[in-house]
Amino acid sequence: MNSVSLRNKKEKRFQMYGMTAVIVAISFLGILLFNIFSTGISAFKQTYVAVNLNIPLDINKSEINPRAELNKSFLKMFPEIQSRTERRAALSLLSKGARYEFEELLDENEGKSIEGYHWFLASADLDMYIKGTVKRQGDTAGRIDENQMKFVDQLESKNLIELQSNKYLLSSADSREPEMAGIRGAIIGSLYSILIAFLVSFPLAVMAAVYLEKIASKNRFSDLIETNINNLAAVPSIVFGLLGLAIFLNFFELPRSAPLVGGLTLALMTLPTIVIAARAAIKSVPPSIEEAAIGMGASKVQTIFGFTLPLAMPGILTGTIIGIAQAIGETAPLLMIGMVAFVVDVPGGPMDASTALPVQIYLWADSPERAFTERTSAAIMVLLTFLILLNLTAIYLRKKLEKKW
Amino acid sequence: MAENLKVSIKNLDVHYGDKQALFNVNLNIMEKEVTSLIGPSGCGKSTLLKCINRMNDLVEICKIRGQILLDSEDINEASQDPVLLRMKIGMVFQKPNPFPKSIYDNVAFGPKLHGMAKSKEELDQIVIQSLSKSGLYEEVKDRLFEPGTGLSGGQQQRLCIARALAVNPQILLMDEPCSALDPIATAKIEDLIAELKQQYTIVIVTHSMQQAARVSDRTAYMHMGELVETGLTKTIFSNPQHEKTQDYITGRIG
């Protein structure tokens, strides 16, 4: 065999190795995405049960006990109910949150009578059965026993059970009841943390990079700093969490569980990443441009802010977004500073107690209820969407800044 | 030919760290003449040039001893501001290095920096004048606001010259301004140098002896950090006093 065909064969083989590697990587990504989507997509729908209401116009609505009134109306739909066990079985099909929806309905219809069927949130157990997450076995399905199943069958035959879009998922914070749990609190908490992390780490890191690259004299001391910054980038994130705990909570006595502290801790973690990226970007600015500016009589500061930084900005921004994207998905340091608490309120500011998206995912994944499984995946989908948006912003900014020059 | 002394370099020693780059250089540069510095690579031509507008300040390990007098004032004295000095002494570099801005902004950079124009009209005037002086205005007048980096190499170099002229310097330092250009662009720059010496004192570093012979009034030959010989270009090329100069000019070294 001659050497040319041998070489061609080698080339082909090498190409094939490369293709295989790419295909394996893509299929892993595909499996991951498929798994998350197929589990999580059902969390965007929620089971509702229709209750026949008959509340007359002349009744003083403030005197109504909403829970009792709703239960009464619901039980009226099943005249055959005799025992307390049956009554309890029927009522457990409604969510504990249904009474709040009922209260809202009452408020909306002040001075009007309410009649006919209205939709109310179903319990998570019923939801799991309707979505088919738990399969029916005889007269039971998961945590729905034979008593409840009678009523479920009745309601279904009258088309009084329906899947509607889940308004809780994106509009409320965490809850003990899976059907009422949402990720709004976690999203807002994450946004506050990331904003603070960016506002703190970006200017600090850029100025540090400028100083190290352009102003500091090169000696033992600057070498030491450089080595240490590179090492910091490799420090496990939980260590930064401990640092945040020691400094921000114990020393400065900032509020526990607050996105402010989370953001500051994430800023510590992101700082070395941005410094390294910014230094590389500053280093890659052609020295001829800086020489030209200096030669025209520009001072060092004028040269740095007029030419070096604008030219390095696309690179710096890319590094920053990578750092921020890393921070947005970070859980460990947030656990250390108490952002892992069960918080039912959407935070109103960076000082309020809050969780963050990855922490919420961690909390839900840990939860025994089946209904939290799909919400875990839904939260992951939201987190991934955030990351994609962040990366798109990075690409857009880079393109825009590059065009300017 | 004017015979006024513009720059006088006296006993100049330059060290880069432990390495000495210039040894006791003495050179006089006359007003409104072209002085060329020639010599083999690494002989210290560019170092000498950069000392004249203190570009070597940027090099941390660079130590300068001796005097450089501009109009009888020592430029290395503490009272001298390097920013003002570089306004008086413009520089054109080996590789064309226009700013990544529009042609207009490239030329307007210096006047804006030093607050030379009081109004937009005045600034426009300076830009047009400078571009005309460097012979570029006719070629670019329709695209003044397009990026300067879009021009050809020769045009870019003339843009850099226009940029340097815009602050109305007294001296123009040119560090091998044609080494990255083709012969036609080189010829244009050389014509330009001949025109510019009516108004400016020019110091040019060049590798091409033909170029030195064509454009300069005086030539200084440098070797291994020492100034070997200096004199009228005609004399140096026709009748070099020093053996090393002769060897270099005739192509035996370098």
| Per-residue DSSP letter, B102 | B
Q: How many angstroms separate the CA atoms of B205 and B35, rounded?
A: 9
Full residue range of the structural domain in which residue A319 is found: 184-404
Structure tokens at A345: 């309120």
Angle at which helices B120-133 and B103-113 cross, to 10°:
120
Between CA B6 and CA B22 the distance in angstroms is 21
CB pairs under 8 A between A and B: 58
Side chain identity at residue A393, one-letter code: T
Distance, in Å, from the CA atom of B104 to the CA atom of B141, rounded to the nearest integer, reads 10
Query: Which of A106, A137, A167 is the last residue in one of the domains?
Result: A167
Residue B35 has a CB neighbour count (10 Å cut-off) of 24
C-alpha distances in angstroms, B250 versus B37, B43, B188, B245? 16, 17, 26, 8
A154 and A227 fall within a common domain: no
- Is the same domain home to A196 and A127? no
Residue A34 lies in a domain: no
CA distances A105 to A116, A120, A160, A346, Å, are 13, 10, 18, 23
pLDDT tens digits for A200-233? 999 999 999 999 998 888 888 888 998 999 999 8
Residues of B in contact with A296 (CB under 8 A): 86, 90, 109-110, 113, 163-164, 167
Q: Is residue A176, in this structure, part of any structural domain at all?
A: no
Residues A199 and A339 in one domain: yes
**In this complex, do B93 and A311 lie within 8 Å of one another by their Cβ atoms?**
no
Question: Is position A39 within any domain?
Answer: no
Q: In angstroms, what CA-CA distances link B39 with A230, A244, B138, B245, B248?
A: 44, 62, 36, 9, 7
The rounded distance, in Å, linking the Cα atoms of A356 and A150 is 41
- Which chain A residues touch B98 with a CB distance below 8 Å? 292
Length of chain A, please?
405
Cα(A114)–Cα(A97) distance, integer angstroms:
19
- What pLDDT, in 10s, does the model give residues A354-370? 999 999 999 999 988 88
**Which pLDDT score, from 0 to 100, does residue A31 have?**
96
Q: Which two tokens stand for residue A238?
A: 């939980």
**Cα separation, A111 vs A120, whole angstroms:** 21
Residue A359: partners with Cβ closer than 8 Å, 6 or more residues away: A186, A331, A334, A335, A339, A340
Is the same domain home to A207 and A256?
A: yes
Query: Cα Rg for chain B, rounded, in angstroms?
Result: 18
CB contact under 8 A, B98 and A299: no
Contact B110 A296 (CB under 8 A): yes
Domains of chain A: total: 2
Walk me through the domains of chain B, giving residue ranges and CATH numbers. Answer: 5-249 (3.40.50.300)
Q: Decide: helix, strand or coil at residue A352.
A: coil
Which of A 277-296 lie inside 8 A of B, CB atoms?
286, 288-289, 291-296
Alpha carbon distances (Å) from B99 to A307, B155, B156? 8, 13, 10
- One domain for residues A226 and A366: yes
Same domain, yes or no: A223 and A361: yes
Q: Of chain B residues 123-152, which have a CB less than 8 A from chain A?
A: 147
Closest Cα to residue A62, out of A2, A115, A110? A110
Give the nearest chain A residue to B102 (CA atoms): A405
Q: Pull the structure tokens for residue A200.
A: 């703190």
A390 part of contact set with chain B, CB < 8 Å: no
Chain B, 55-94: which have a CB under 8 Å from a chain A CB? 55, 58, 60, 82-87, 90-91, 93
Q: Any idea which residue has 């000095």 for tokens? A: B85
Burial track A2-13 (b if 16+ CB lie within 10 A, e otherwise): eeeeeeeeeeee
Q: Identify whether A50 is part of a domain.
A: yes
C-beta separation of B198 from B165 below 8 A: no
The answer to whether residue A37 sits within a structural domain is: no
Q: Verify that A162 and A189 share a domain, yes or no.
A: no
Q: Are residues A198 and A238 in the same domain?
A: yes
- Asked whether residue A218 is domain-assigned, the answer is yes
Q: From CA A404, how far away is CA A351, in angstroms rounded?
A: 39
Closest Cα partner for A292 from B205, B159, B197? B159
Residue A23 inside a domain? The answer is no
Contact A292 B99 (CB under 8 A): yes
Please give, rounded to a whole number of angstroms, the shortest distance from the CA of A291 to a CA of chain B: 8
Q: Give the pLDDT confidence score for residue B1 in this predicted structure.
A: 44
- Which domain CATH number covers A203? 1.10.3720.10
Whether A110 and A213 share a structural domain: no
What is the residue whose two structure tokens read 């008959």?
A54
Are A299 and A334 contained in the same domain?
yes
Question: SS3 for A80?
Answer: coil
**Residue A144 pLDDT:** 86
Task: Please check whether residue A216 touches B, CB under 8 A.
Answer: no
Q: Clarify whether residues A140 and A250 are in a common domain.
A: no
Among the candidates A117, A140, A167, a domain finishes at A167
H helix or E strand, kind and range, residue A116: strand A114-121
Q: What is the pLDDT along chain B (254 residues), one digit of tens a residue?
A: 446 888 999 999 999 988 999 999 999 999 999 999 998 888 889 899 999 988 888 787 888 888 899 888 888 887 888 888 888 999 999 889 999 889 999 999 999 988 888 889 999 999 999 999 888 898 998 999 998 888 988 899 999 999 999 998 999 999 999 888 888 889 989 999 998 999 999 999 998 888 999 999 999 999 888 999 999 998 888 888 888 888 888 877 65
* C-alpha A169: how far from chain center: 12
Separation CA B30–CA B141 (nearest Å): 35
Closest alpha carbon within chain B to A214: B58
Pick from A255, A245, A271: nearest CA to A335: A245
ipTM of the prediction: 0.85
pLDDT less than 70: residues of chain A? 1, 403-405
Q: At B122, phi and psi to the nearest 5?
A: -65, -40
Q: What is the pLDDT of residue B2?
A: 47
Shared domain check, A400 and A374: yes
Chain B residue closest in CA terms to A405: B100
